[in-house]
Chain A
Amino acid sequence: MVGIVGYGTQIPRYRIKIEEIAKVWGADAASFKRGLNLNEKSVPCPDEDCATLAVNAARNAMSRAGINPQEIGALYVGSESHPYAVKPTGATVSEALGACPYVHTADFEFACKAGTEAMFVALNLVKSGAVKYAVGIGSDTSQGSPGDALEYSASAGAAAYVMGAENLVAELIDTHCFMTDTPDFWRREHANYPEHGGRFTGEPSYMKHVTGAVNAILEKTKMKPEDFDYMIFHQPNGKFPVQMALKLGFKEPQFRYGLLTPTLGNTYSGSSPLGLAATLDEAKPNQLILLVSYGSGAGSDAFIFKTTERLLKVRDMAPRVRKQLDEHKMYLEYGQYAKFRHKIVKPE
């Protein structure tokens, strides 16, 4: 038996409202809010990046796991905003946790599913018996080009999971992947912002891969949508995951805790892992949770978890997602946001 021993998250305090972005670009805020189910998004403080969010989320995960960091045998960070092109984020996170030196680490990249890739590898390393504990983290300070549709959603946040084989808060029932080479979104080396295929990001990309992963894991486990207490899909906006869930036979109560995008934005690699954490914050023991990520390029990772009694004991050992999301928010005007996100060009 393997699964989650501890989980933790970090969401920046700063926010910007959709109206504030739309005002600058002459766009219709109401249509963005209605069409994409987005109201505001998180913005990282200038001293926050993928590594700091990952460390602070992982420390919260360690508080819930209650393990010795020296027992961590592997640590992986998934992101598309690693601070360095060459120098592992995972080394910084491992050092900050006190897990060095006997720890295997790597940085993963696969657009928005890099976080669940890290979780997938961590779970399977524990399952193989190669390590006692492994940490999988999804963390991003996402980029959206000024004025582009992505600017309304690209946000920041991280979720970290300590995987192990005992003292679980959620047992892994099964996993499945669905992946093809689909060019719906990319960022070239040295490019500041990603580019995307507009409507191509929908049907042949997000919809196809999420559907493929869901159908595959349901068939593999002989389960049906109604068997799950909760489900979380990747959330590029507030519209896609709801459309997809209803189309596949899930109902609103199943995603009521996991859908965070309307007030968080798309935290890219942190997106579905944060949704899982918010669901674990509210779930009861012995409940089934379906997690399905999506990363452009393109692929989906599906996981089924079953919660345990220990979840209730450790839940309040770190801040809950809704508390980080809903309380003590600090709102920015667009000019401050542009400065925070280094969108204002200054002489070197």
Chain B
Amino acid sequence: MEVARHWRETPERYRMEAGKCSKCGKIAFPGRMICPECGSTEFTKHTLSGKGKIVTYTIIRTAPDGFEDLVPYAVGIIELDDGIKILAQITDCNPEELKTGDRVVAKFRRINEDGKTGMIYYAYKFVPDVGI
């Protein structure tokens, strides 16, 4: 991953900041230049709730570079209470016990690192919403 790209995406990755169309209210995450619903170019900042439910998921058993030590781990599509769907890793769980429809909540986690001497990348992941 590029350090500069990660840094540019800090508002989305660290704080789940989305764009809300000032004209039709459509929420875009990540933010867009033009609203896909109405074509407006006016957006206000909208911080996502970070709460939602699992729409679907898969369990990764053969991981790409940098994720080998995490297997088996789940990656899923989460439908947030804000009405949008996002793709994210689901952690702090036994992936075999996950079910579609389970409530999940976003937490701040490490998502990768450039080896042992490079940059550490942080962003949101989701965990089962058990109130802890």
* From A51, A59, A96, A327, contact of B130 by CB (8 A): A327
- Write out, one digit per residue, whether chain B residues 42-59 have a CB within 8 A of any chain A CB (1) or not (0): 000001000000000000
* From A45, A83, A96, A323, contact of B108 by CB (8 A): A96
* From B47, B69, B111, B130, contact of A328 by CB (8 A): B130
- A45–B92 touching, CB < 8 Å: yes
Instruction: Kindly identify, within residues 64 to 87 of chain B, every residue whose CB is under 8 Å from any CB belonging to chain A.
Output: 69-70
A330 vs B96: C-alpha distance when bound (angstroms): 14
- A47–B116 touching, CB < 8 Å: no
Q: Which residues in B have their C-beta under 8 angstroms from that of A26?
A: none
Q: Which residues in B have their C-beta under 8 angstroms from that of A45?
A: 91-92, 109
30 A-B pairs (CB sep. < 8 Å): A13-B127, A45-B91, A45-B109, A46-B70, A46-B110, A47-B91, A47-B109, A47-B111, A47-B125, A48-B109, A49-B120, A51-B108, A52-B107, A52-B108, A52-B110, A55-B108, A56-B107, A59-B108, A83-B120, A84-B120, A92-B14, A95-B10, A95-B15, A319-B132, A323-B131, A327-B130, A327-B131, A328-B132, A330-B92, A348-B116
Q: Which of B70, B116, B122, B128 has the most CB of A within 10 A?
A: B122
- Which residue of B has the minimal Cβ distance to A97? B15
> What is the CB-to-nearest-CB distance from B112 to chain A, in angstroms, rounded to a whole number?
9
Known: A13-B92, A46-B69, A323-B131. A51 touches B122 (CB 8 A): yes
Check A98 for interface membership: any CB of B closer than 8 A. Answer: yes
- A348–B108 touching, CB < 8 Å: no
Check A220 for interface membership: any CB of B closer than 8 A. Answer: no
Check A256 for interface membership: any CB of B closer than 8 A. Answer: no
Check A224 for interface membership: any CB of B closer than 8 A. Answer: no
- Which residue of B has the minimal Cβ distance to A59? B108
Instruction: Kindly identify, within residues 87 to 122 of chain B, every residue whose CB is under 8 Å from any CB belonging to chain A.
Output: 91-92, 94, 107-111, 115-116, 120, 122
Q: Which residues in A have their C-beta under 8 angstroms from that of B14?
A: 92, 95-96
A-B residue pair count with CB separations less than 8 angstroms = 62
Check A324 for interface membership: any CB of B closer than 8 A. Answer: yes
Instruction: Kindly identify, within residues 265 to 282 of chain A, every residue whose CB is under 8 Å from any CB belonging to chain B.
Output: none
**Extra 5 A-B pairs, beta carbons < 8 Å, given A95-B15, A319-B131:** A13-B132, A45-B92, A98-B15, A328-B132, A348-B116
- Write out, one digit per residue, whether chain A residues 4-30 have a CB within 8 A of any chain B CB (1) or not (0): 000000010100000000000000000
- We find that the number of chain A residues with CB closer than 8 angstroms to chain B is 26
- B120–A47 touching, CB < 8 Å: no
> What is the CB-to-nearest-CB distance from B56 to chain A, in angstroms, rounded to a whole number?
22
Nearest first, the 9 A-B pairs at minimum CB distance are A55-B108, A47-B109, A96-B14, A47-B110, A324-B132, A328-B130, A13-B92, A319-B132, A52-B108
A330 vs B109: C-alpha distance when bound (angstroms): 18
A45 vs B128: C-alpha distance when bound (angstroms): 14
Q: Which residues in B have their C-beta under 8 angstroms from that of A330?
A: 92, 94
Check A343 for interface membership: any CB of B closer than 8 A. Answer: no
Check A34 for interface membership: any CB of B closer than 8 A. Answer: no
A39 vs B125: C-alpha distance when bound (angstroms): 30
Q: Which residues in A have their C-beta under 8 angstroms from that of B109?
A: 45, 47-48, 52
Q: Which residues in A have their C-beta under 8 angstroms from that of B70?
A: 46-47
Q: Which residues in A have their C-beta under 8 angstroms from that of B132?
A: 11, 13, 319, 323-324, 327-328
A59 vs B107: C-alpha distance when bound (angstroms): 10
A92 vs B123: C-alpha distance when bound (angstroms): 11
A324 vs B127: C-alpha distance when bound (angstroms): 14
A327 vs B131: C-alpha distance when bound (angstroms): 9
- Which residue of A has the minimal Cβ distance to B68? A346
Check A339 for interface membership: any CB of B closer than 8 A. Answer: yes
Q: Which residues in B have their C-beta under 8 angstroms from that of A95?
A: 10, 14-15
- Which residue of A has the minimal Cβ distance to B127? A13
- A348–B115 touching, CB < 8 Å: yes
- B69–A56 touching, CB < 8 Å: no
> What is the CB-to-nearest-CB distance from A341 to chain B, in angstroms, rounded to a whole number?
11
- B92–A96 touching, CB < 8 Å: no
A319 vs B105: C-alpha distance when bound (angstroms): 13
A97 vs B14: C-alpha distance when bound (angstroms): 8
